[in-house]
Chains A and B, each alone.
Chain A
Amino acid sequence: MSALADKLAGYLNGKMPDAAGLRVAGFKRIAGGSSRETYAFDLEWSEAGAHRARPLIMRRDPTGGLLVSSREREFKVLEAMNRAGLKVPPPLFLELDPAILERPFFIMERAPGRTSAGAFPATEPVSLRDRIAHDFIVGLARLQALDHRALGLGWLGEPAGLDGPARLQPAHWRDVYERDRMNERHPILEAAFAWLDANPVAADRIVIVHGDYRSGNYLYDDDHGIIAMLDWEMCHLGDPMEDLGWATMMFWGREELAGGLMEREAFYRLYERMCGCTIDRRRLFFYQVLGNAKMAVICLTGIRDYVEGRTSDAVMPLLEILLSPLLDDLANQLKLI
């Protein structure tokens, strides 16, 4: 661990020529960000005679993990979201040269606050839960109101036509399923992809889609509500119902509370008020089905990496257990049982 910290200090010395006595302090790996290695540290230095310190996070590609995604993509999205004034940790340095720390990485500010493993915890006060629910939905509405072209995010790949998202996303996740199923067949999952193909929906507009917008992916505290939205690696352009569908899946919720935050219909009504729109329930259902299928495939990807020895992360075998509620939800959604 100290060898990694030393290399990081050497790298940052090169990036900050005006900094003197630069030191990486308290370098430690932290849990979460399960598709990346995530390290927290404090950077300390002197500049123009003044002592400076900054709490930072380093995220590095794993040797194997849940998803193959680009550090550069994630970093550039964070930069754009930061420019747009969204609540995200400010990104600082991106390094793609594997010679520096063996694998691409980026560094961003470490935002304060706490997060949950999944659904917003039942142990938190109701008043805080209500505030977080409001912040969560407002954050989604603000994201979906952004002009991706004005932010220079056209490189994310604009779907061809308003019916593009409903073709592209299921096709992508079906391809990942075929690659990662390890010769096993999953009838309910395959039925879900067949249903998605046979029941396409058309978006009413193309927006920036976070791709993993849910409880468990934001930092919050008692005084500020949601402080920062995390994990932008699956960001793409698509249908606004995709993020709403993902966030309101039963999998991320608790009992009748979407995301563990708010009763589902109240959640939808608040979203409609914030967006000035009416939810197309057929489209929402499509993306809730896609969400369950996508999460099941993400589990299979992690399981495959674990079985084939590309990761030793002890969280990965737990994914087998998570498949059960996902398959149950799909079977119920599609009336297969």
Chain B
Amino acid sequence: MLRPALSEILFGIQRTIIETLAPELSSPYAQSQAGSVAMMVGFVAASMASEPALAAAEVKGLASTIRAIHKLRDPALLADPQLKAALRAARRAATSRPPDRRAMEAAIAELAKALVLGRLSDPVAKEVRGYLRANLERIRSFVAPGLFPR
């Protein structure tokens, strides 16, 4: 395997910025910018390996939520023309190859709006809440290296 690996290069660039470049900067603004750049480079280094897996988990989570809601054949949802159309579009998006992430997110956005307005039955609400919880957890784990930089 070739070394340094990409993440090792980025961590090295972070060290170069902190240890070599920043001390040479006389401008406080430039020093502040260098600090921000160093932090972001570290974030990218720590997160880049996990990004594809998180993106795949997100698509999987969206598709399984949409499938589960579809299976419920919820009468209240099907009686709402807007939600019915959103769910139909989401089913197409979930079953296309590859799945259409943006279209699935659009459907979940409509369902989240319905959730906050109390328009969803309990079983459907449970599925939407489950997706939102998992989505927030995925976001939290992705940005954690930025919130707690090394």
Residues of chain A whose beta carbon lies under 8 Å from any beta carbon of chain B: 28-31, 183-188, 190-192, 194-195, 198, 313-315, 317-318, 320-321, 323-324, 327-328, 331, 334, 336-337
Contacts and interface: CB of A to CB of B under 8 A. Distances in A.
A321 B106 contact: no
Contact of A321 (B27, B29, B115, B147): B147
Interface stretch (B1-9, B75-83, B133-141): B133-141
Interface in B36-69: 36-37, 39-40, 43
A185 B43 contact: no
A194 B116 contact: yes
Contacts of A321: 43, 143, 146-147
B23 to A, nearest CB: 17
* Size bin of chain B's contact surface: 20 to 34
Contacts, number: 89
A246 to B, nearest CB: 21
A48 to B, nearest CB: 35
A195 B36 contact: no
A185 B136 contact: no
B132 interface: yes
B129 A31 contact: no
B97 to A, nearest CB: 21
A190 B133 CA distance: 16
Given A184-B102, A187-B108, A314-B37, 12 more contacts: A185-B102, A187-B113, A190-B109, A191-B113, A314-B34, A314-B36, A314-B40, A318-B39, A318-B40, A324-B140, A336-B116, A336-B132
What DSSP secondary structure best describes chain B's contact surface? helix
Nearest to B134: A337
Contacts of B135: 187
Contacts of A323: 139, 143
A313 to B, nearest CB: 8
B105 interface: yes
B20 interface: no
27 contacts: A28-B28, A31-B28, A183-B102, A184-B102, A185-B102, A185-B106, A187-B113, A188-B132, A188-B136, A191-B112, A191-B115, A192-B116, A194-B113, A194-B117, A198-B116, A314-B33, A314-B34, A318-B39, A318-B146, A321-B146, A324-B136, A327-B136, A328-B136, A328-B140, A331-B132, A334-B116, A337-B133
Nearest to B31: A31
Q: Which 8 A-B pairs give the minimum distances between C-beta atoms?
A: A314-B36, A321-B146, A187-B112, A31-B32, A29-B29, A194-B113, A191-B112, A191-B116
B13 to A, nearest CB: 13
Contact of B112 (A29, A184, A188): A188
A324 B32 CA distance: 23
Contacts of A186: 109
Contacts of A315: 33, 36
B27 A29 contact: yes
Contact of B109 (A187, A195, A198, A318): A187
Contacts of B109: 185-187, 190-191
A195 B106 CA distance: 17
Contacts of A324: 136, 139-140, 143, 147
Interface-central residue, B102, B105, B143, by most chain A CB under 10 Å: B143
B50 to A, nearest CB: 14
Contacts of A184: 102, 105
Nearest to A325: B147
